[in-house]
Amino acid sequence: MDNVGIVVEDLAAAIEFFRELGLELEGRGLVEGEWAGRVTGLGDQRVEIAMLRTPDGHGRLELSRFLAPPVIADHRSAPVNSLGYLRVMFAVDDIDDTLDRLVKHGAHLVSGDVVQYETAYRLCYVRGPEGILIGLAQELS
């Protein structure tokens, strides 16, 4: 897999949230024109994007802020059993420390609780800026 894409309204806030998770900003730029619209099916478009790389270098996250055409749907408050994109899961070394840092960027636990699965993992879902849903997993072994 090359990357996962998420559409946001506040690109700067989303970048800072994911940088707090340890992702590195590879770059930002404007993607526009008829060629880009042929890829997405949106026609002539203008999109500000930021590409972030995971600390291990094996995955990337593309954040997009559409300038034109305007955004027409909003799935940010959809419950986790909605059809379509669910979440991106991140492996973390210390889930409590990670949560403490993410709260400063507007994150909150979906269930209000970190759950332990047997003796293997501590897990939770978090809504970040703009309701972006992510998962955190701390391996216990």
N-to-C CA span, the chain: 27
Low-confidence ranges of the chain (pLDDT < 50): none
The confidence score (pLDDT) of residue 74 equals 87
Q: What tokens appear for 54 in the block? A: 């995971």
**Residue with token string 């955190």:** 136
Q: With respect to residue 80, please indicate whether it lies within any of the assigned structural domains.
A: no
Q: How far apart are CA 23 and CA 109, in angstroms?
A: 20
CA distance to 15, 18, 28, 129, 141, per residue, from 10 (Å): 9, 13, 14, 8, 37
CATH number at residue 104: 3.10.180.10
pTM of the model: 0.90
For the chain, the domain total comes to 2
The confidence score (pLDDT) of residue 1 equals 79
Residue 60's domain comprises: 3-68
Tens digits of residue pLDDT in 56-77: 999 999 999 999 998 888 888 8
Cα angle for residues 32, 70, 21 (degrees, 5° grid): 75
Provide the 3-class DSSP secondary structure of residue 17: helix
Question: Do 40 and 92 fall into the same domain?
Answer: no
CA 28 to mean position of chain CA atoms: 16
Q: With respect to residue 25, please indicate whether it lies within any of the assigned structural domains.
A: yes
Q: What tokens appear for 68 in the block? A: 């034109």
Question: Do 60 and 105 fall into the same domain?
Answer: no
